[in-house]
Structure 1
């Protein structure tokens, strides 16, 4: 039985032989063993490449062994040292408005019966206020109203170099009459109190009523009343100023000159009729106020019903301007005519010009350490650029120190040196000393033996 060979045994032997026998040439290997072989080849190839690169680096292959590896690029940009003109600009605070109010030079006396609203613009011929219900009218001029205008009632003043006539004397003596004694039959030729001797030997004492020097014996009679002189023209520069305004208001019939004539008087009557005044032909001292042009009326200094006075009403010009309280120690920039830039509250820049500088410093309010200030008024030519803004805080920029044709670089290019001071880093990495001067508009003035125009320097980051 043990020597018998069955088909089952043959099949098992064939299977075992097939597992042990390697694959024949030309046949495909099993799938699982093929995947494992691919992974092994890839790992071996990668190891070979890395080893080759490392070996090449160790042997110095792929480059010149005498040069150092290239340094990484520096951060930052380079700029050139240039020649420029630097101007130092400074900003100060200011206030937009119409300027400081001036008291209206009204000379009318009486009770204030009407006042205008603050902010009213008045022109030539407009009523500024009413006193005792009489209008006070604005006219243009620089000479203040200092007297009443109209035809004069007295005689014509004598021409230069002549003498006025003397008053008539009384009859009967050059300077008076003779005294008469009280005694009978006595004739007295003495003065004041004297004694006369009569022809009968009597003596009497008389009191003289006058002093006679020519032997006259009578008392002079008063002269007859003189006839009133006709009105005469009033002369003066104030007349010329008033007539110029009267003509500008459209009134005619007179010559614009320095004489207030009957023609001027008739024109004044017509003007008074339009104003609702009695047509007297004379201009009272308080009827007119002169100003250099159109004015803007401010807050009234009195209430209705109060007595009129010089502080009854204030006024300013009609153009908006800026007032700066400049430090008295640093006001050298404030010279009449100096151009400045005004920044409005919304940031809009407007060109301005210094119009006036105060001559009196104002005491500071901040204590002993505060600096006195002087008012600087700046006019703005382009009023339309201000829009409807009438007041508010603004900033004023002005040019201070100025350096022309100097070497300059951006401030960001400066570096602090370890030994102190400042320097610049050149494009090739060297550091050179730089002395600084004026700082302006993000630039700085520099100087030094190694610096020149066109030198490239680095701006560090």
Structure 2
């Protein structure tokens, strides 16, 4: 049985005209563009097309911070470790026979004219100099030890400089000054000086260890004590590759364990100290004394030169730190009056060369530069279109 024919569609009141395929795609594109435009406008307004609620804004790239190009002196430096301690090392011996009746305590500081030993109840004072009192001195004596004695008598106010001329001759004026000194000590006023009447050191002594015990007999040449000076110095084992950067009298900076920084000056620059094994020398170096690495790789160690640095300024600047590991900064090279920027400002231009991005009223532009000396945080730069005060981008 054959199905009945399908009825034709009912006529409608709308009439359409045929649309070419290309026109159909154009219409669809217009609708899509219109929707996108509407969505973009809604996004700019900050609301959703559907529910009109606020939506999260898209992040906007922030401008990079800028820093000025500066003109100044740049100093390239070398930092090495060392050990802070008291300057000088003294070992004093006596020149008198008798029984020890008084000794100082470790840590005491003995200055010029102060008692450093007692023998048979006689105080033995400390005088400054380099020649021990090894012989009797009396009017008519001549020599460097006489000059040393007279200089100390003047410094101790036992002699009037207008009355006593400091020279190599022991005169009647010298004898008068000696008697005043003996009166102050409470000993016989003979006007003469016997061997061992005083001990001699280059300066004030901080007592370390004391050899004799009270009541123990002593004799000429017997050890009295060991000690140090009262000033401070830093001992450094300097690698030979840096030796050419150091000279006696050179100013340096010393960073202490407490963070303070004090001035120092190179006082001695020693000869080469060869180190042949990773065990280090048996005498001990400054680095080993500080418990620091010696720079050895396996059994190979670099040759070093000992450097002593005198710490300038009063002891109060040390903030209570008298010994310990420190960092010494030696200035290696100085570039005066050069332009520099923070190292982070360096970038690479399209041609692969170094450049910086300059920001001014005209906008941003890339300026090729030639880098020079690098220091802590800054680099010397030169190039066309770069001037002092220009602002350059520095990534945070």
Q: Which residue of 2 aligns with 1:357?
A: 268
TM-score, length-normalised on structure 2?
A: 0.63
Among 333, 356, 362, the residue aligned to 1:401 = 333
Q: What residue is the counterpart of 1:119 in the other structure?
A: 107
- The Cα shift of 1:101 comes to 0.9
Equivalent positions of 1:325-364 (< 5 A) are 325-350=237-262, 352-364=263-275
The alpha carbon displacement at 1:108 in A equals 4.0
Within 2, Cα distance between the matches of 1:328 and 1:338? 17
Contact 1:244 1:256 in 2 (8 A): no
Q: Deviations over 1:410-440 (max 9, x none)?
A: 1111224686553334556665543322112
The answer as to 2:371 corresponding to 1:436 is: yes
Following superposition, the deviation at residue 403 of structure 1 comes to 1.4
Q: Given the two structures, how large is their TM-score scaled by the length of structure 1?
A: 0.55
Deviates more, 1:437-446 or 1:334-343: 334-343
Q: Deviations over 1:126-173 (max 9, x none)?
A: 22224576543212345443421135xxxxxxxxxxxxxxxxxxxxxx
CA distance in 2, matches of 1:56, 1:247: 101
1:106 CA drift (Å): 4.0
Aligned residue for 1:299, secondary structure, equals: strand
Cα offset, 1:443, TM superposition: 1.2
The offset of 1:354, in angstroms, is: 0.5
1:336-368: per-residue Cα shift (whole Å, max 9, x none)?
443333333221233x13050233333442443
**Map 1:180-195 → 2, pairs under 5 A:** none
Task: Give distance in 2, aligned partners of 1:263 and 1:57.
Answer: 112
Q: Could you tell me which residue of structure 1 aligns to residue 164 of structure 2? A: 256
**SS of equivalent residue, structure 1 residue 104:** strand
| Kept after mapping to 2: 8 A contact 1:328/1:374 | no
Which residue is 2:314 aligned to?
Answer: 382
- Cα distance in 2 between the residues matched to 1:373 and 1:414: 38
* CA distance, structure 1, for counterparts of residue 74 and residue 169 of structure 2: 61
Aligned length, in residue pairs? 317
Contact 1:99 1:323 in 2 (8 A): no
Is contact 2:235–2:306 with CA below 8 Å preserved after alignment? no
Instruction: Provide structure 1 residue ranges, at least 5 long, that are not aligned to the other structure.
Output: 1-50, 62-71, 152-232
Q: Does 1:289 align with 2:195?
A: no
Q: Distance in 1 between matches of 2:312 and 2:105?
A: 25
Q: Which has the larger radius of gyration?
A: 1
Equivalent pair of 1:325/1:376 in contact (CA under 8 Å): no
Shift in alpha-carbon separation, 1:285–1:355, aligned structure 2, 3 A:
farther
Alignment of 1:109-258 (within 5 A): 114-130=102-118, 135-150=123-138, 233-246=140-153, 256-257=164-165
Deviation of 1:243 (Å): 4.4
Query: Matches of 2:133 and 2:234 in 1, distance apart?
Result: 31
Q: 1:284 to 1:360 in 2, by over 3 A?
A: farther
CA-atom RMSD in angstroms: 4.2
Equivalent residues of 1:342, 1:394 under 8 A apart: yes
In structure 1, C-alpha distance between the alignment counterparts of 2:159 and 2:121, rounded to whole Å: 27
Which of residues 387, 390, 394 is equivalent to 1:453? 387
Measure the CA separation in 2 of the matches of 1:403 and 1:263.
Answer: 58
Query: Residues 103 and 310 of structure 1 are in contact (CA less than 8 Å); yes or no, is this contact kept in structure 2?
Result: no
Partner Cα separation in structure 2 for residue 264 and residue 413 of structure 1: 72
Q: CA deviation at 1:372?
A: 0.8
Greater strand content: 2
Supply the distance in 2 between the matched residues of 1:137 and 1:456 (Cα, whole angstroms): 68
SS in 1 for 2:344: helix
- C-alpha spacing 1:457/1:132, structure 2 compared with 1 (3 Å): same
Q: Distance in 2 between matches of 1:110 and 1:362?
A: 43
Of 386, 411, 415, the match for 2:347: 415
2:92 paired residue among 99, 104, 108: 104
Name the CA distance, whole Å, in 1 between partners of 2:61 and 2:189: 97
Q: Give the corresponding residue for 2:20.
A: none
Structure 1 distance, partners of 2:258, 2:307, is 24
Partners of 2:320 and 2:392 lie apart in 1 by 50
Q: Secondary structure at the match of 1:389?
A: coil
- The answer (yes or no) to whether the contact 1:357–1:375 under 8 Å persists in 2 is yes
